[in-house]
Amino acid sequence: MALAALAGRLPPPRVAHHVRVRDPDSGEALDDAIALWFPGPRNLTGEDLAELHLHGSRAVLAAVMAALGRRGLRLAEPGEFTRRAFLNGKLDLVQAEAVADLAAAETEAQRRQAVRQLAGHLGALYRGWGDRLLRLLAHLEAAIDFPDEDLPPEIESRVAAETASLAAEIERHLTDGHRGERLRDGIAVAILGPPNAGKSSLLNQLARREAAITSPVAGTTRDVIEVALDLAGYPVVLADTAGLRDSTDAVEQEGLRRALKRADEAELRLFVFDAACPGDARAAAAWPGSDTLIVANKIDLVGRSAALPHGAIAVSALTGEGIADLVRTLGSRIAERYDIAAPVLTQARHREALEIAVAALQRSFDAGLAELRAEDLRLAWRSLGRITGRVDVDDLLDVIFAEFCLGK
C-alpha cells in the first residue's frame, strides 16, 4: 500500500496523524506531513482512501508525486472520486450532479439547493416514483400472466387509476415554472422603460454595488446587455433592454421587438421611468402583477416630495439614493418565488427524462392490449431510472462527469 510505503506504516483509521514522508526507494525524507487513512468500504468512494496534507510547494509535490508514480499511482481525472462513489453505490446520479453544482455554486441560494440535492431528497422522490411504477407493472404483469386465476377483476382499472395519479404527480413537478433550473442557472431580471430613463445607469449602479458573478452568461446578445449578479444571495442575470419607444426605423423596431420579448420571458422586471415624467409609467401596465417593480429614477432631480405612481420605488442611478431599497424589494420578491423547501427539478436532463416518462404513462391509457400497456410502464420506469442511475447509464457518465473539476 502506497501510504504505508511513504509514511513508514499505516496511521490509525480516520485520525489525522503526523508522519515523515520518505521516498520508499531511496529512504530520503521528502516532507513532514499529516496523513489520514480512510479504509473502505465505509467512506466517501467505498474504496480505500488516503490523504496526505503536504507543504504545498512545487518541489515537495513533484517529489511526492514522483514517488507515488513509481508505485503505479496517477492523478485522478476530474470528477473521478464522485464517479467511483456513484459506481460503488455511495451516491445516486442526482447526488453526484449535486457535488458538481456545490463546487460551482456562486451564490447562497445555489449552495443551498445543491446541499439539499446532495442530501438525497430529489433522488428519493424519483426513486419513489420508480418504485410505485414497478409495483403497478408487477400487478399488470400478474393480470397478463394469469388471466384465468383468481386475481381481482378490478386490478386493471386500479392500475390505470394509479398510473393516472402518478402521471399527474410527475406533471405537477414538471410545471414548477423551472424554479430549480432557474436557481441553478440564474434568475432572469429585465430592465425596461422609455429611452433615457436611466436603464443602463441603473444596471451599472446595481452591478457596481453587488458583487458581479464572473461566470459567462449563456446567450448574451449584442442588443441586450447582461450581467450576472449575486443579489441577496440569489443568482440573477440582469438584462438591459433597448428603450421602449414607437419608431418607424427598422433597426429600432427590431430592437424594440427583442426588448419586449426579453421582458416577457424574464421572471421579474424593473420598469424604469424618469421621475420628472410620471406619465411614462403608464406603459408598465403591459406587465401587471407583482413580478414587475416600478422604478422612478432621477429622484435627485425632482426631490422626494414629487408625485409618483402608487408603489413606485424612488431611486437615483446617479447618486445611488434608494438603490438599497430597490435591492431589498427585489430580493424579497425573488425570495417569495425561489425560497424552495420541497425538492425541485434542477436540471434539463432530469426534465427530459420525466417528460419521456409522462408521455409513456399517457400512451399506456390508449394502448388496447395489457401487454402494450405494460411495455409503456416499463419504458416510463426506465426513463425514471436513468435520472438517478438505477438503470444503464454508461452512455451518460462521461457527459455528466466531464463537468466536474479536479479533486472532486
Q: Does 317 bind ligand GDP (CB under 6 A)?
A: yes
Which secondary-structure segment (H or E) carries 166?
A: helix 155-174
Nearer to ligand GDP, 92 or 240 (CB): 240
Judged by CB under 6 A, the stretch of 50-58, 190-198, 277-285, 346-354 that binds ligand GDP is 190-198
Residue of 58, 110, 298 lying closest to 201 (CA atoms): 298
Instruction: Determine the 3-state secondary structure of 214 from DSSP.
Output: coil
Nearer to ligand GDP, 141 or 300 (CB): 300
Judged by CB under 6 A, the stretch of 85-93, 223-231, 314-322, 343-351 that binds ligand GDP is 314-322
Q: What are phi and psi of 231, to 5 degrees?
A: -110, 110
What spatial distance separates the first Cα and last Cα of the chain, rounded to whole Å? 22
Which secondary-structure segment (H or E) carries 235?
A: strand 234-240
> Which of 177, 195, 311, 407 is close enough to bind ligand GDP by CB under 6 A?
195
* Sequential DSSP letters for 269-298: EEEEEETT-GGGGGGGGGS-STTEEEEEE-
Which residue has the CB atom at the shortest distance from ligand GDP? 198
Q: Does 300 bind ligand GDP (CB under 6 A)?
A: yes
CB of 341 to ligand GDP, least distance (A): 38
HEC sequence for 369-393: CHHHHHHHHHHHHHHHHHHHCCCCC
**What does DSSP say about strands 225-231 and 187-192: parallel, antiparallel, or unpaired?**
unpaired
Q: Does 199 bind ligand GDP (CB under 6 A)?
A: yes
Q: Does 247 bind ligand GDP (CB under 6 A)?
A: no
Q: Residue 176, class by beta-carbon neighbours within 10 Å (0-12 exposed, 13-18 middle, 19+ buried)?
A: middle
Nearer to ligand GDP, 217 or 318 (CB): 318
Measured CA to CA, the distance from residue 177 to residue 180 in angstroms comes to 8
CB 342 within 8 Å of CB 172: no
According to DSSP, residue 125 is labeled: H
Q: Does 255 bind ligand GDP (CB under 6 A)?
A: no
> Which of 200, 247, 329, 362 is close enough to bind ligand GDP by CB under 6 A?
200
Q: Does 306 bind ligand GDP (CB under 6 A)?
A: no
> Which of 16, 62, 276, 301 is close enough to bind ligand GDP by CB under 6 A?
301
Measured CA to CA, the distance from residue 64 to residue 157 in angstroms comes to 67
> Which of 243, 322, 343, 389 is close enough to bind ligand GDP by CB under 6 A?
243
Judged by CB under 6 A, the stretch of 65-73, 231-239, 311-319, 382-390 that binds ligand GDP is 311-319
Nearer to ligand GDP, 43 or 196 (CB): 196
Residue 86, CA distances (Å) to 92, 128, 156 in order: 6, 19, 37
Cell 436557481 found at: 183
41 preceded by cis ω (within 30°)?
yes
Residue 287, CA distances (Å) to 263, 270, 308 in order: 9, 10, 18
CB of 209 to ligand GDP, least distance (A): 14
Q: Does 269 bind ligand GDP (CB under 6 A)?
A: no
Size of the site for ligand GDP (CB under 6 A): 15
Residue of 337, 346, 304 lying closest to 322 (CA atoms): 304
Judged by CB under 6 A, the stretch of 99-107, 158-166, 195-203, 356-364 that binds ligand GDP is 195-203
CB of 248 to ligand GDP, least distance (A): 19
CB of 302 to ligand GDP, least distance (A): 10
Residue of 233, 199, 198 lying closest to 213 (CA atoms): 233
Q: Does 169 bind ligand GDP (CB under 6 A)?
A: no
Q: Does 201 bind ligand GDP (CB under 6 A)?
A: yes
Nearer to ligand GDP, 129 or 273 (CB): 273
> Which of 102, 134, 174, 318 is close enough to bind ligand GDP by CB under 6 A?
318
Judged by CB under 6 A, the stretch of 95-103, 108-116, 141-149, 194-202 that binds ligand GDP is 194-202
> Which of 46, 88, 102, 196 is close enough to bind ligand GDP by CB under 6 A?
196
- Interacting residue ranges for ligand GDP, rule: CB under 6 A: 195-201, 243, 297-298, 300-301, 316-318
